[in-house]
Structure 1
């Protein structure tokens, strides 16, 4: 009991007393003072020695019973469990692994495939820690109050992003970036046929979310810096646009970045015409290049990001951030739509985003992506290529006379699957003859390089049916 008393005196100054008691008992078990099968002091005896109520000790025993640290036996007392609690086993360690079995003759480059740089082990270990949480966390519907720690972890995670004043109540946890886009549209759009404006080439998820809400989607012309403000002004006035969806940090599919002066000009148009701006920041892996529209437009700027591109798409976790006076509407869209993330997933977000190892792993993922991008540039650099080493795809404008659809067919015949610019244009919109080549970092670098060589061979000697 002396070890429990000593550990309790150390822990009792912070947090609830029952958690301090539970922590003190765990400390005694870790130190070996309490061994598997040892009987814990009776509740009243321990309460008297600690100077607290029996109810507090009973609650601590319940917590330890729920997470498997101790076992209660009717008529005999409470004993240290003979099996290790879920979080006491050896942590899963990341071991660099060979690429999984791959077909070197066929490689899919439709979308980025994230390399495992230790995030799988991080997630395994996080789930093990979560298994030790109290059972009552798994028996109730989600609520805003219960998810406050997870939202606060997201706010700390976003500290390096220029978003303007940000409180955890301004954001909602969602099922990936696409879920966030849909929630913002549900919150903002009004009327029977609202108008959503998008870049002439843009993330297809924008128009899919708009289609679900029976909104009309209107393309806005672009140049090398992104949306053309003068064209946006004319379209917003003529069409009555309510929402602009844009990706200024990493434009999907071209990889371009909209500089600050252009963002400010676009924000001025939004203020003058009274529409909202939704920024999709899911593809940014490196430092932010300019202020988010939420900072430029405090009342009408929205921000969405996710963990899919920088950590793993398997979790399907994203974050939607509302302007301060629009947060209640965003919460309502989430609560009326799906009640919120499952409790284990929200707890996983809190755990992962609070660990420095997660940032280190994401830096390693970014660096690994960069290795693949540089291979693509080394092989295809003689052509009209747009790239950045912290963006997991490159954009290839085909030489004059080429047709993108036929080029992609020829590439697939060579075992390389690509996406054309048509996939990012509206159904009746014009698209350049270009392709997006995504980084598949789940195949070996040698296989990726071989795929790039096959693409270059097509560019160097096009079949007669492709050239015009």
Structure 2
């Protein structure tokens, strides 16, 4: 501690976090801090220096980005070995956009870093202009979209979806469009019933309500949907469709293990219930069989490139169960004739490029850096996280209500999403918030924002000050 204190100039020119970083950097260069030495915890150093934890956190992040320090989840921050520093990205795949340094940080929805995909998309658009002229004159066709559908199959390689043919795939305008297509293909009658998890992605509810469907919530436990409760609700309401996200549940981060999936699939088999699996938030490898593999004639699958490459292009896809491809295709063709042909060609180009898997890996790795920072700051609280999950789920301590916490956070320049937004209108919502990763701000800005959340968590409004 004294090593840093003796070198810190509190009254110097420039931001205080740069003064802290300079003091640590000097200590390392002079040998007062050696490779492997553990730095003081952020809050302890901040108290000793008489500054905020966010200021110290920003200094640590700057030095970590430089390679002078290394952070380890749950252990702390250490002086890095200069010989072990991670090499910079190849020049060809340098960021096209620099992350923003800001005190106003939106953590409402995941925001991806640019790890080369912007340059790749720009090049793909240039190549698009060289496609045959007739692609820009004629209506899109099922035959013309086959290369794009095959590209999607390649992109999904490794996802356990069961038997799959490119004809089972329909391209959509993002995952939300895919959800709407499936509901239009499945729901029948004047007032169909759709079952949703008691905390769920709000897009399910909105799509169902657009189709004048009634939505009913299904109880959950630590493994996901409760099978007995599901069967009772199917029989009570005559429900036609269940919407679920078993791989990476939005917003809780919950994972449904294989045995529970088998039980849910068996309920659907007995009752004739259709299952829609939304896999849009998964950015790593699938951990278990999809419902389409467990229940091939009743399960639909939706995903997109929004959380792995970019949401800007609105490229998604829906996959029909065995025997239902014509129903799904008919909805798309009768609704909007399918995607614009240039967008389908762009999908093919992006998903078949040799560099795409490497860019996706870089995106995941960068998101993981932000996740680790958040866990280091918030890990003492009731936090659900995974290294391949672009958000965190935080149960609030006693004294905080979700709405009040979100308002207090926004007053400090940080926006997070309340659990209330994921509950049905008459449903129960826990005192919790979802914190999305925003990798379009600097890691220092992100860390400072998370420290402001930590300050609120440590000082709930019902706590009595002494």
State the TM-score, normalizing by the size of structure 2. Answer: 0.79
Q: What's 1:451 paired with?
A: 449
Residues 113-148 of structure 1 show CA distances to partners (whole Å, capped at 9, x for unaligned) of 010000001111111112111211110000001111
Aligned pairs for 1:287-326 within 5 A: 287-326=285-324
Q: 1:380 to 1:101 in 2, by over 3 A?
A: closer
1:96 aligns with 2:75: no
1:184 aligns with 2:182: yes
Q: What's 1:60 paired with?
A: none
Aligned pairs for 1:55-66 within 5 A: none
Q: What's 2:342 paired with?
A: 344
Please give the alpha-carbon distance, in whole angstroms, between the structure 2 residues aligned to 1:430 and 1:120: 41
Report how far residue 96 of structure 1 moved.
2.7
Q: What's 1:410 paired with?
A: 408
Report if the CA contact (8 A) 2:96-2:116 is conserved: no
The answer for unaligned runs of 5 or more in structure 2 is: 1-90
Report how far residue 152 of structure 1 moved.
1.0
User: What is the DSSP-based 3-state SS (H/G/I as helix, E as strand, rest coil) of the residue aligned with 1:325?
Assistant: coil
Aligned-residue Cα RMSD (Å) equals: 1.5
Report if the CA contact (8 A) 1:93-1:121 is conserved: no
Q: What's 1:36 paired with?
A: none
User: What is the DSSP-based 3-state SS (H/G/I as helix, E as strand, rest coil) of the residue aligned with 1:128?
Assistant: helix
Please give the alpha-carbon distance, in whole angstroms, between the structure 2 residues aligned to 1:233 and 1:101: 49
Q: 1:357 to 1:390 in 2, by over 3 A?
A: same
User: What is the DSSP-based 3-state SS (H/G/I as helix, E as strand, rest coil) of the residue aligned with 2:329?
Assistant: helix
Residues 386-417 of structure 1 show CA distances to partners (whole Å, capped at 9, x for unaligned) of 00010000000011232111011101111100
Q: What's 1:284 paired with?
A: 282
Please give the alpha-carbon distance, in whole angstroms, between the structure 1 residues aligned to 2:353 and 2:196: 36
Aligned pairs for 1:90-129 within 5 A: 93-96=92-95, 99-102=98-101, 104-129=102-127
Residues 197-226 of structure 1 show CA distances to partners (whole Å, capped at 9, x for unaligned) of 010000000000000000000000111111
Report if the CA contact (8 A) 2:399-2:463 is conserved: no
User: What is the DSSP-based 3-state SS (H/G/I as helix, E as strand, rest coil) of the residue aligned with 1:324?
Assistant: coil
The answer for unaligned runs of 5 or more in structure 1 is: 1-91
Report if the CA contact (8 A) 1:406-1:466 is conserved: no
Residue 373 (structure 1) aligned to one of 371, 374, 378: 371
Please give the alpha-carbon distance, in whole angstroms, between the structure 1 residues aligned to 2:329 and 2:463: 54
Residues 410-467 of structure 1 show CA distances to partners (whole Å, capped at 9, x for unaligned) of 0111110010100000011010000000000000000000001000000111234999
Report if the CA contact (8 A) 2:97-2:114 is conserved: no
User: What is the DSSP-based 3-state SS (H/G/I as helix, E as strand, rest coil) of the residue aligned with 1:267?
Assistant: helix
Please give the alpha-carbon distance, in whole angstroms, between the structure 2 residues aligned to 1:325 and 1:401: 53
Report if the CA contact (8 A) 1:407-1:466 is conserved: no
Q: What's 2:237 paired with?
A: 239
Greater relative contact order (CA < 8 Å, ≥ 6 in sequence): 2
User: What is the DSSP-based 3-state SS (H/G/I as helix, E as strand, rest coil) of the residue aligned with 2:301?
Assistant: strand
Residues 145-164 of structure 1 show CA distances to partners (whole Å, capped at 9, x for unaligned) of 11111111111211211111
Please give the alpha-carbon distance, in whole angstroms, between the structure 2 residues aligned to 1:99 and 1:148: 37
Q: What's 1:355 paired with?
A: 353
Q: What's 1:149 paired with?
A: 147
State the TM-score, normalizing by the size of structure 1. Answer: 0.78
Report how far residue 93 of structure 1 moved.
4.4
